[in-house]
C-alpha cells in the first residue's frame, strides 16, 4: 500500500498507514515498525508506532528526508492483509474493581444505567489489543471497549492518579504505570508492575499484545507476586 | 577509580536536575528522551572540562542555586547567565575554573537565558538507567535518585586529578550562543499545517507571543491570540508520535512548543522548530517573547551543519 508521508520538522517522518482505531491499520503500522527495525536504514534513529502512523526519527546529518521517504515507501509494499511477523502475546491483568481503587466505577455504571457488576462483567468479557504505548512510560492504549461502556473523559482531569490505575475513555481502556495526571475514568487498579526501568524489558506490554482483565479481591491483590 | 564526594547541594533553586544528552530509542514503549533542555550548552560544558560530551551535568533553572564543593575540582558553567559566583566573587561563563574543598558556588538570578549547566572534570557518578543518566522527572527514574535535586543531596564523582590541565580554557566568543529575551525561532510547516486556515497560519507567523509562566521542562507555553482551526475539525486528532520542537495547538488555540518529555500526542502541529534551534528552547524564560519564522529543509540542514561544525571545533580545541 502507498502511505501518506508527512514531515515532522527536520528530524521526523510521519508515515500514515490508515485512519481510525482499526486492527487492520494497526497491523500495518506494526509490520512497518518491524521491517524498519530489521532493515536498519542508515541515519534512522528510532521508530515510534501509534494507532495508524509510524514516526520515523532520523539524524538529519546522516539521512536525507526526501530519499528516506522514498525508501520507506518501497518498504510499505507488503500485502496489507499480512499479519505482523510476531505472534501476539496474551497478557492477563488482575484488577481490583471499584472502591478506593476504582473511584469512578459507580459514576460509570450510573452513566450507562448499569450495576457495578455489569460494568465489571463487560470490561472483563473482552480481549483488547494494545494499539500503542504512549503518554507515559509503559502506558498501553487498548481497544475496543464494548459500546455499552463508551464513556466520555472526566470533565476535570485528576492531577494525581495512583500507579496501576485501570481506566476507560470513549472506546479505549488503559493502565497508568506511573503516578501521573490524567482525565480518564478510573474503574480499578492492578497489582502488576507495568513499567520498571531497571528491567531488561522495562515495559510489561508492547504494541500488538492482547490483554484480558480478570476481577480479583483486594486481599488477592495485596498478596500478588511482584 | 574510587568515587569521592564532589558537590553538596545547599539549595536547588527553582529546579535543578541531573541531565545528559538524553535517553534515546525508547519511544516505542512511551519513554521520552528527557536530557538537557539546551543540549548545546551541556555538550560544550562537558567538552571544555574533558568529559564525554554526553556525560551527566547539572541543569540549573533561573535562580536560587547554591552548592559547596567537597573536593578539589575543575568545573565550568555554560548556558544561561545566572550571575555565577564562587565564594562571592563573580566567575565567567564558558570558562574552566578550579575550586577547592569548601568553596561555595552560587547562581542567584538570571541576566539572560533560563538554564545553566554545571559540568565537573571527571564527571558525576550517576548510574545509567536505560542507557542515560538523565532524570525523567515525570516518571521518577534516572538521574540522582530518580528526582530533581534537593538541599542536602551529595553528588559523588571520579575526582579531578586527570582533568586539572583543562583549567583556564574558555570558549572563544564566536562560539558562544547569543541569548535574548525576544526570540525568533526557525520552523518548518507542521504535519497538520493544512488543518489551520490560511489566515490562522498567517496570524501564527505574524504574532509576537508572550512566554507563559506555566512553561517548564515539558514545553514552552505561549500566550497570544488563539489560532483558529478549519471549520468542523475536532479539538484533537488520533495520538501519534511526536518530537521536541513540535508546536502543537490544543483546544484553546494557544500554541505550546514541546520539549523532550513527550513521546506521543493528540493535538495538531502547526509547525516544528528546526534541529539547529532546539537548544534555544531551553533558554526561553517566562516573560520573554517568541516569534516564528518559516524556513526550508535544506536551510535547516545547513544551519545544523554549522552547529555541529562548532562542536567539532571544540572537540579539537580541547584534545590538544
Following DSSP, what letter does each residue of A31-92 receive, concatenated?
A: HHHHHHHHH--TTEEEEEE-SSEEEEEE-TTT--HHHHHHHHHHHT-S-TTPPPSSPPPEEE
Q: Given the C-alpha cell 545547599, which residue does it identify?
A: B10
> Between residues 188 and 207 of chain B, which touch chain A (CB distance below 8 Å)?
188-191
- Same domain as A210, residue A108: yes
- Same domain as A203, residue A169: yes
B269 pLDDT above the threshold of 80: yes
pLDDT, averaged across chain B: 95
| C-alpha cell belonging to residue B235 | 479539538
Is residue A81 assigned to a domain?
Answer: no
CA distance B63 to B87: 17
| C-alpha cell belonging to residue B108 | 542567584
B164 pLDDT above the threshold of 90: no
Q: Where are the domains of chain B?
A: 4-177, 182-308
The answer to whether A84 and A208 have CB atoms below 8 angstroms apart is: yes
Q: B242 in contact with A at a CB cutoff of 8 Å?
A: yes
For the residues of B165-215, what is the DSSP string, one character each? GGTT-B--GGGSPPP-SEEEEEEEE-TTGGGB-HHHHHHHHH--EEEPTT-
Interior/surface letters B34-69, b for 16+ CB within 10 angstroms, e for the rest: bbbbbbbbbbbbbbbbbbebbbbbbbbbbebbbbbb
Give SS3 for A24. helix
Is residue A20 assigned to a domain?
Answer: yes
Q: Can you name the CATH fold of B182-308?
A: Cyclophilin (2.40.100)
Q: What is the pLDDT of residue A226?
A: 72
A80 pLDDT above the threshold of 60: no
Q: How far is CA B198 from CA A138, B175, B195, B201, B226, in A?
A: 38, 38, 9, 5, 14
Are the Cβ atoms of A48 and B238 closer than 8 angstroms? no
DSSP annotation of A200: S
- Same domain as A215, residue A113: yes
A105 pLDDT above the threshold of 60: yes
Q: What percent of chain B has pLDDT over 90?
A: 89
| C-alpha cell belonging to residue A165 | 490505575
Q: What is the pLDDT of residue A136?
A: 96
- Same domain as A111, residue A30: no
Chain CA centroid to CA B57, Å: 11
The answer to whether B25 and B125 have CB atoms below 8 angstroms apart is: no
Is residue A80 assigned to a domain?
Answer: no
How high is the ipTM of this complex? 0.96
B120 pLDDT above the threshold of 80: yes
Residue-range definition of the domain harbouring residue A56: 4-75
Are the Cβ atoms of B129 and A206 closer than 8 angstroms? no
Q: Which helix (H) or strand (E) holds A142?
A: strand A140-143
Is residue A156 assigned to a domain?
Answer: yes
Q: How far is CA A153 from CA A99, A108, A185, B1, B254, in A?
A: 19, 10, 6, 54, 22
Q: A219 in contact with B at a CB cutoff of 8 Å?
A: no
Q: What value does the mean pLDDT take over residues B1-28? A: 94
Q: What value does the mean pLDDT take over residues B59-84? A: 97
The answer to whether A8 and A2 have CB atoms below 8 angstroms apart is: no
Q: What are the tens digits of pLDDT across the range A112-157?
A: 999 999 999 999 999 999 999 999 999 999 999 999 999 999 988 8
Q: What is the pLDDT of residue B234?
A: 77
A94 pLDDT above the threshold of 70: yes
Cβ atoms within 10 Å, residue B180:
13
- Same domain as A214, residue A148: yes
B1 pLDDT above the threshold of 60: no
Q: Could you tell me the pLDDT band of residue B251, with boundaries at 50, 70 and 90?
A: confident
Show residues of chain A in contact with B188, CB under 8 Å: 7, 9-10
Q: Given the C-alpha cell 501521573, which residue does it identify?
A: A180
Q: What is the pLDDT of residue A86?
A: 62
The answer to whether B307 and B44 have CB atoms below 8 angstroms apart is: no
The distance of B164 to chain A (nearest Cα, Å) reads: 34
CATH of the domain at A133: 2.40.100.10
The answer to whether B310 and B175 have CB atoms below 8 angstroms apart is: yes
- Same domain as A150, residue A60: no
CATH of the domain at A50: 3.30.1360.40
- Closest CB to A65: pick one of B129, B245, B297: B297
Show residues of chain B in contact with A45, CB under 8 Å: 24-25
Q: What are the tens digits of pLDDT across the range B15-55?
A: 999 999 999 999 999 999 999 999 999 999 999 999 999 99
- Same domain as A214, residue A102: yes
Q: What is the pLDDT of residue B3?
A: 87
Q: How far is CA A17 from CA A25, A54, A100, A151, B296, in A?
A: 6, 8, 41, 27, 26
> Between residues 132 and 151 of chain B, which touch chain A (CB distance below 8 Å)?
136, 138-142
Show residues of chain B in contact with A197, CB under 8 Å: 31, 129-130, 139, 141-142
pLDDT, averaged across chain A: 94
A80-84, A181-185, B109-113, B114-118: segment of lowest average pLDDT = A80-84
DSSP annotation of B229: B
- Pairwise pLDDT comparison (B266 vs B288), residue with the higher score: B288
- B276 Ramachandran zone, left/alpha/beta (phi>0; psi -120 to 50): alpha
Characterize the bridge pairing of strands B65-69 and B154-157: unpaired
- Same domain as A128, residue A65: no
Are the Cβ atoms of A55 and B246 closer than 8 angstroms? no
B9 pLDDT above the threshold of 70: yes
Show residues of chain B in contact with A48, CB under 8 Å: 27-28, 241, 263-264
The answer to whether B24 and B54 have CB atoms below 8 angstroms apart is: no
Are the Cβ atoms of B191 and A133 closer than 8 angstroms? no
- Pairwise pLDDT comparison (B68 vs B161), residue with the higher score: B68
Q: What is the pLDDT of residue A73?
A: 95
Is residue A212 assigned to a domain?
Answer: yes
Last residue of a domain, one of A75, A106, A124: A75
Domain total in chain A: 2
A57-66, A74-83, A148-157, B4-13: segment of lowest average pLDDT = A74-83
Which is nearest to A135 in space by CA: B134, B264, B112?
B264
Q: What is the pLDDT of residue A192?
A: 97
Is residue A120 assigned to a domain?
Answer: yes
Q: How far is CA A149 from CA A124, A161, A183, in A?
A: 12, 21, 16
Is residue A149 assigned to a domain?
Answer: yes
Last residue of a domain, one of A16, A50, A75: A75
- Same domain as A157, residue A50: no
Are the Cβ atoms of B301 and A61 closer than 8 angstroms? yes
pTM assigned to the model? 0.95
Q: What is the pLDDT of residue B320?
A: 62
DSSP annotation of A101: G
Cβ atoms within 10 Å, residue B251:
11
CA distance B205 to B271: 10
- Same domain as A114, residue A70: no
Is residue A45 assigned to a domain?
Answer: yes
Q: What value does the mean pLDDT take over residues B90-109? A: 97
Q: What value does the mean pLDDT take over residues A59-77? A: 95
**Alpha helices in B17-136, H assignment, sequence order:** 39-48
- Same domain as A105, residue A53: no
Q: What is the pLDDT of residue B117?
A: 98
- Pairwise pLDDT comparison (A167 vs B236), residue with the higher score: A167
Q: What are the tens digits of pLDDT across the range B183-215?
A: 999 999 999 999 999 999 999 999 999 999 999
Helix, strand, coil percentages, rounded to 5, for chain A: 25, 30, 45
> Between residues 162 and 191 of chain A, which touch chain B (CB distance below 8 Å)?
178-180
Show residues of chain B in contact with A17, CB under 8 Å: none
Are the Cβ atoms of B25 and A46 closer than 8 angstroms? yes
For the residues of A105-134, what is the DSSP string, one character each? HHHHHHHHT--HHHHHHHHHTS-EEEEEE-
> Between residues 97 and 156 of chain A, which touch chain B (CB distance below 8 Å)?
132-139, 141
Q: What are the tens digits of pLDDT across the range B125-157?
A: 999 999 999 999 999 999 999 999 999 999 999
- Same domain as A198, residue A116: yes
Q: For the purposes of burial, counting CB atoms within 10 Å of the CB of A161, is it exposed (0-12), middle (13-18) or buried (19 or more)?
A: buried
Amino acid at each position: 500500500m502507498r502511505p501518506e508521508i508527512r514531515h515532522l520538522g527536520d528530524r521526523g517522518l510521519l508515515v500514515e498507514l490508515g485512519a481510525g482505531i482499526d486492527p487492520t491499520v494497526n497491523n500495518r503500522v506494526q509490520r512497518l515498525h518491524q521491517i524498519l527495525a530489521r532493515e536498519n536504514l542508515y541515519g534512522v534513529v528510532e521508530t515510534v508506532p501509534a494507532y495508524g502512523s509510524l514516526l520515523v526519527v532520523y539524524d538529519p546529518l546522516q539521512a536525507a528526508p526526501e530519499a528516506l521517504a522514498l525508501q520507506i515507501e518501497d518498504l510499505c509494499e507488503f500485502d496489507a492483509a499480512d499479519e505482523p511477523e510476531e505472534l501476539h502475546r496474551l497478557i492477563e491483568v488482575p484488577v481490583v474493581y471499584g472502591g478506593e481503587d476504582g473511584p469512578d466505577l459507580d459514576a460509570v455504571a450510573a452513566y450507562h444505567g448499569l450495576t457495578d457488576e455489569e460494568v465489571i462483567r463487560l470490561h472483563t468479557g473482552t480481549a483488547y489489543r494494545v494499539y500503542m504505548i504512549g503518554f507515559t512510560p509503559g502506558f498501553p492504549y487498548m481497544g475496543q471497549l464494548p459500546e455499552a461502556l463508551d464513556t466520555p473523559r472526566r470533565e476535570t482531569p485528576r492531577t494525581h492518579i495512583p500507579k496501576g490505575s485501570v481506566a476507560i475513555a470513549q472506546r479505549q481502556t488503559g493502565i497508568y504505570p506511573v503516578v501521573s495526571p490524567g482525565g480518564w475514568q478510573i474503574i480499578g487498579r492492578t497489582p502488576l508492575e507495568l513499567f520498571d526501568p531497571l528491567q531488561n524489558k522495562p515495559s510489561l506490554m508492547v504494541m500488538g499484545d492482547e490483554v484480558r482483565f480478570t476481577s480479583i479481591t483486594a486481599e488477592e491483590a495485596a498478596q500478588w507476586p511482584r | 577509580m574510587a568515587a569521592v564526594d564532589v558537590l553538596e547541594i545547599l539549595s536547588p533553586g527553582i529546579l535543578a536536575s541531573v541531565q545528559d544528552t538524553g535517553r534515546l530509542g525508547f519511544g516505542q514503549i512511551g519513554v521520552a528522551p528527557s536530557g538537557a533542555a539546551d543540549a548545546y550548552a551541556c555538550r560544550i560544558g562537558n567538552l571544555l572540562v574533558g568529559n564525554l560530551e554526553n556525560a551527566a551535568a547539572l541543569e540549573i533553572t533561573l535562580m536560587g542555586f547554591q552548592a559547596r564543593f567537597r573536593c578539589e575540582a575543575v568545573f565550568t558553567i555554560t548556558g544561561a547567565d545566572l550571575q555565577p559566583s564562587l565564594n562571592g566573587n563573580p566567575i565567567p561563563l564558558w570558562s574552566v575554573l578550579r575550586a577547592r574543598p569548601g568553596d561555595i558556588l552560587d547562581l542567584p538570578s538570571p541576566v539572560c537565558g533560563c538554564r545553566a549547566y554545571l559540568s565537573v572534570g571527571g564527571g558525576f557518578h550517576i548510574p545509567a538507567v536505560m542507557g542515560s543518566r538523565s532524570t525523567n522527572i515525570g516518571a521518577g527514574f534516572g538521574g540522582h535518585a530518580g528526582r530533581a535535586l534537593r538541599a542536602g543531596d551529595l553528588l559523588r564523582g571520579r575526582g579531578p586529578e586527570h582533568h586539572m590541565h583543562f583549567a583556564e580554557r574558555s570558549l572563544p566568543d564566536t562560539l558562544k550562543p547569543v541569548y535574548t529575551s525576544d526570540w525568533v525561532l526557525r520552523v518548518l510547516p507542521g504535519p497538520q499545517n493544512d488543518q489551520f486556515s490560511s489566515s490562522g497560519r498567517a496570524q501564527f507567523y505574524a504574532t509576537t507571543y508572550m512566554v507563559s509562566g506555566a512553561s517548564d521542562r515539558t514545553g514552552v507555553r505561549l500566550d497570544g491570540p488563539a489560532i483558529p482551526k478549519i471549520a468542523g475539525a475536532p479539538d484533537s486528532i488520533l495520538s501519534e508520535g511526536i518530537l521536541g520542537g513540535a508546536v502543537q495547538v490544543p483546544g484553546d488555540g494557544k500554541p505550546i512548543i514541546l520539549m523532550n518529555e513527550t513521546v506521543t500526542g493528540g493535538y495538531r502541529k502547526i509547525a516544528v522548530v528546526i534541529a539547529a534551534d532546539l537548544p534555544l528552547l531551553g533558554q526561553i524564560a517566562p516573560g520573554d517573547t517568541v516569534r516564528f519564522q518559516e524556513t526550508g529543509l535544506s536551510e535547516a540542514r545547513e544551519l545544523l551543519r554549522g552547529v555541529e561544525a562548532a562542536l567539532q571545533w571544540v572537540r579539537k580545541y580541547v584534545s590538544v
